[in-house]
Homo-oligomer: A and B are copies of this chain.
Amino acid sequence: MRTIQSRAHPYTVEEFLTLDAAIESLGRLDQMHFLVDSVLLDRLGAARRQGLPESRIVSLEASEHAKSYGALERVFLDLLERNLKRSGTLVVIGGGVLQDAGCFIASVLSRGIRWVLIPTTLLAQADSCIGSKSSINIGSYKNQLGTFYPPHRVLLVPDVLRTLPYDELRSGLGEVIKLQVLSSEAGFEELMRDLVGFEAFADDRRESFLARWVRRSMDVKQPVIEADEFDRGQRLLLNYGHTFGHAYESVSDYGIPHGIAVILGMLTATALSAELGMVPVVHAERLFSLLRPWHEPYAERLASVGREQLLQALAKDKKNSATGLTCILTRGYGAMERMSLTPEQVAGLVWPTIRRLIDSGFSGGIMGTDSSAGLGKPTA
């Protein structure tokens, strides 16, 4: 059992062999209400659902729309009508969308009620389930609303990852890989070795691989979120790959899964860092070659994107202020830096680099023919 410190309250991360065992650990269910991914709820079937009190289950679709401010009004009202009060507990079972919705609801209902999270995707287990954040959409603005409010308990069940589609696992692996790139060369190389042959792993081997790298991901993330829960300093580096990744998700109309977009975003940041002389080209080329199996063929979805469309998507990111572009670049494994690029650098370096990466399928030939001389240094 892991205990994580937070300004709101400390919380535990516990592992269980089965979902039933996790639910069993909740104890008496009479003050508990359940917010459950609708697909998962169907899949659980009557037998598995027996453990949950039917009258206190609210089902939620795992879509971007479902975690919008407007759509959540119905969920709040559903829970209030079922008499969820200040002394109650909300148990959230699902992936990132369910976590975002559940965290926001729990943090705002009666100014904060107790909640328990059972993450059911690799992305949620390895990354988002710790760190307190919720992200809510409003109108056409994605993730612009939210709160910092960790669950009181996180219950990990590696077993539930067993049935996930391969591409959803790959999406989760995107964040797992990112955390090791942020950590150290040794961690990253170890993960890459463990990943060899992943697609063909037998069920048991896959499950123990995932349980192990969920733990290793938390080992990297925990000290960062404990030191900077509110995203003012070092925690911002966890967004490595996200400025570009979010833009890729957006311009592909969310046709690129989040974690895979993060891989493409990391590669973009690496290429830019190489262009700016911050990191050796050989470092960048090795990363492009190792990560290719973990994003292909999604870069194709970007083939038709235009300059204006991409720059607008970049400007929408909430981390970007009115002028220029703030992003995280790299000087190597475990050596990321938050940088401000000028509008001139965005036009003269960022866009041409991205265009070249898209044309090559993010597979190589990363350096431009022009040198980057004259573009100036980014300011830290």
Contact = CB atoms under 8 A, between A and B. Distances in A.
Interface of A: 7-8, 69-70, 73, 76-77, 80, 83, 85-87, 107-112, 133-134, 136, 138-139, 141, 144-148, 230-231, 318-319, 321-322
Contact of A144 (B73, B110, B144, B321): B110
A83 B322 contact: yes
A318 B138 contact: no
Tell me the dominant secondary structure on chain A's binding face.
loop
A108 B146 contact: yes
A136 B321 CA distance: 30
A291 B129 CA distance: 53
B70 A318 contact: no
A319 to B, nearest CB: 7
Given A85-B318, A322-B83, A111 B146 contact: yes
A332 to B, nearest CB: 29
A74 B291 CA distance: 43
Contacts of A69: 73, 76
B147 A108 contact: yes
A112 B110 CA distance: 18
A101 to B, nearest CB: 14
B147 A73 contact: no
Nearest to A105: B145
B112 A80 contact: no
B77 A139 contact: yes
Contacts of A145: 76, 108-111
A226 to B, nearest CB: 16
A7 B85 CA distance: 23
Q: Indicate how many identical chains form the complex.
A: 2
A144 B107 CA distance: 12
A147 B111 contact: yes
Q: What are the 6 closest A-B residue pairs judged by CB atoms, nearest first?
A: A111-B146, A77-B139, A108-B145, A80-B141, A76-B138, A110-B318
B111 A321 contact: no
Nearest to A107: B147
Given A70-B73, A80-B141, 16 more contacts: A7-B7, A7-B8, A73-B138, A76-B145, A77-B141, A80-B144, A85-B318, A85-B321, A85-B322, A87-B321, A108-B108, A108-B136, A108-B146, A109-B144, A110-B318, A111-B133
Given A69-B76, A107-B147, A147-B147, A230 B112 contact: yes
A14 to B, nearest CB: 25
Nearest to A80: B141
Nearest to A88: B321
A31 B230 CA distance: 21
Given A83-B322, A85-B321, A321-B87, A148 B111 contact: yes
A70 B138 CA distance: 12
Contacts of A86: 318-319
Contacts of A318: 85-86, 110
A77 B138 contact: yes
A181 B138 CA distance: 44
Given A86-B318, A86-B319, A110 B146 contact: yes
